[in-house]
Structure 1
Amino acid sequence: MKNFRKEILGLIVIVFLSVSATCQEKTSSSADSNSKVEKKDKKRKKKKKYKLPEIDLSHWSVTTPELNHKGSAMNIEPPEILDYATDERLLPYMYNDSTLGALVFYSFPSDATTANTKYTRSELREQMVPGDNNTNWTFADGAYMKGKLQMGDVSKSSDGKYHKVIIMQIHGRLTNEQRDLIGQKDNNAPPILKIYWQDGKIRVKTKELKNLSASDNEILGKDAWDDDKGFTFEQEVGFSKFTLEVEVSDGKMVVILNKNEYAVYDSIHMKRWGVFENYFKAGNYFQSRDEGAFAKVNYYELEVKH
């Protein structure tokens, strides 16, 4: 009888231990499952983090493809531009993509063109003094601009090629005295630098004097300058992010793509350009009038130094 009781007790102990182990396994499995769920939730939360572009707009104005009440292209200056994220006038053309962390510039053909062009733009204009276009810089002063950007989306023409977009510029400007000297109605001078996104590559265009013997007064007119043949960087950027730098010094201009390709301009044309004041431009200067055409340019970083 004693032996029988011992056997029964032994069986009870074995059953108890087995049940206990099973429960522990289930508990452990449940804990592991909960841990995995928590990790997934954390990953999801991390993915949902909003990112903003690293761009200070306090020294930039912007022109958009929309008409203002005067029938000209809309232009917003500091400090109003700082509220671009809630400004209904700017929302369609300049807005944050918080998933990418980019400031998007959107443009398409419209009636909102600016002087001396048939094309529209959603483009920033540098203002060394916020709200003032009369304070600019010369090559002798020196200047530097760096942007981290990306072609977001762009339409194609009837021949199947992507439409061109100017993504950066250095624009010349006449002082009031120079303007009056040559009898011009406005202060516009030619752009000494235009950087294009063209067929997935970066193309640079600059200006050359038609007559190197022309006087300093004679070269103030737009007719004194012509486009050069242009230069295309070897690297194809496509729709990937890339970095552009522009360095300006007395008689010299350097354009750098991704810190490994350089376009250097230090000819007599650059030296003679020293008579002009200048300002930087960046964004989306769309180069098409095709119906239904459009482009989006994503800027992640933009900085200027003098």
Structure 2
Amino acid sequence: MNTKTTSLLLTCLCLSLGHAAEKTKPPSGHFDLSHWKLTLPLDASGAKSGKAMEILPAQLSAGFTNSEHFYTGSDGAMVFWCPVTGARTENTEYSRCELREMINPADDNVCWSARGTHIMDARCRVMEVPSGQKVVIGQIHGYSSKASPMIKLQFYKGRVEALVKDKARKGKDIKLTFPDVGLDKDFDYQIKLENGLLSVTVNGTTQSENVFELDPAWAEQTLYFKVGAYPQDNEGPASEGARVAFSRLKVSHSETVSPSK
């Protein structure tokens, strides 16, 4: 065996071992999950029915993983898998495997307002979609049970679209579309809210809406980010669902937040 061949084999072996090492870490080994809680498509008994269970920030930071629904991929990505027939949260149509931001890890009443600057920056890959082909991969959600999601970032038929609510309660969607990204391909996205100006960027293309102009009531809402796999489908076999892998996830806020009322 010549030196060049030996070097190539050693390089391949090192890469293989490196990938294996990355995969053995839980998601918290690659991402700071100390300010997130996780909703799983499982109930407290582990069944895919009933009320969805939550994994708290301390549990995530301690290394929580689930081999089917929330795990580290071979490349170190954080992978979410959600079947269309899983357990659900209260008053929702669809199951989800999704992180919910917690400014205070001990109190989910603490959120942020639409004033100031709030950014979620991510790189992800939609690996699998349900038959309806829709999966929500990021959100800004209102704290109040009656509040609408300000924005749902949705992957649909290979394209990313932002669904922005024109009202803080019971609003209609304003759809912002972006160029195709394709299934099972990495793409970057950013959701930014700055003093009411909501900007969404996908692979360098940016679209914006001023939510204060759409509805001044948005200024009174308290909000939080969500990210993961939230299929917009609730029919099909247990094998049908959405799988989304995140290789980057960063969140920043510029202002002090206070408890929601």
* Contact map agreement 1:252 1:270 (CA 8 A) in 2: no
1:59 to 32, 35, 49: 35
Show the 5 A alignment for 1:6-21: none
Matched residue, 1:276? 221
* Contact map agreement 1:84 1:91 (CA 8 A) in 2: no
Deviation at 1:112, TM superposition (A): 1.1
- Pair 1:294 & 2:241 matched: yes
2:52 to 67, 73, 98: 73
* Contact map agreement 1:150 1:241 (CA 8 A) in 2: yes
2:3 to 35, 40, 47: 35
Deviating 4+ runs (over 6 angstroms)? none
For 1:173, give the aligned amino acid: Y
* Contact map agreement 2:127 2:183 (CA 8 A) in 1: no
Matched residue, 2:158? 200
* Contact map agreement 2:98 2:230 (CA 8 A) in 1: yes
The structure with the largest alpha-carbon Rg is 1
Show the 5 A alignment for 1:227-306: 227-259=172-204, 261-266=205-210, 268-269=213-214, 271-292=216-237, 293-306=240-253
Distance 1:167 1:266 in 2: 22
2:171 to 226, 244, 254: 226
* Contact map agreement 1:66 1:110 (CA 8 A) in 2: no
Deviation at 1:111, TM superposition (A): 4.8
TM-score, with length taken from structure 2:
0.84
* Contact map agreement 1:84 1:95 (CA 8 A) in 2: no
For 2:109, what is the secondary structure of its paired residue? coil
> How many residue pairs are counted as aligned between the two chains?
239
1:191 to 146, 149, 154: 149
Distance 2:12 2:246 in 1: 26
Matched residue, 1:130? 105
Matched residue, 1:144? 119
Deviation at 1:65, TM superposition (A): 0.6
- Higher normalized strand content (fraction of residues): 2
5+ residue gaps, structure 1, are 1-32, 158-162, 175-186, 210-218
* Contact map agreement 2:86 2:96 (CA 8 A) in 1: no
Identify if the C-alpha distance between structure 1 residues 228 and 275 changes in structure 2 by more than 3 Å, giving closer, same or farther: same
5+ residue gaps, structure 2, are 254-261
* Contact map agreement 1:251 1:272 (CA 8 A) in 2: no
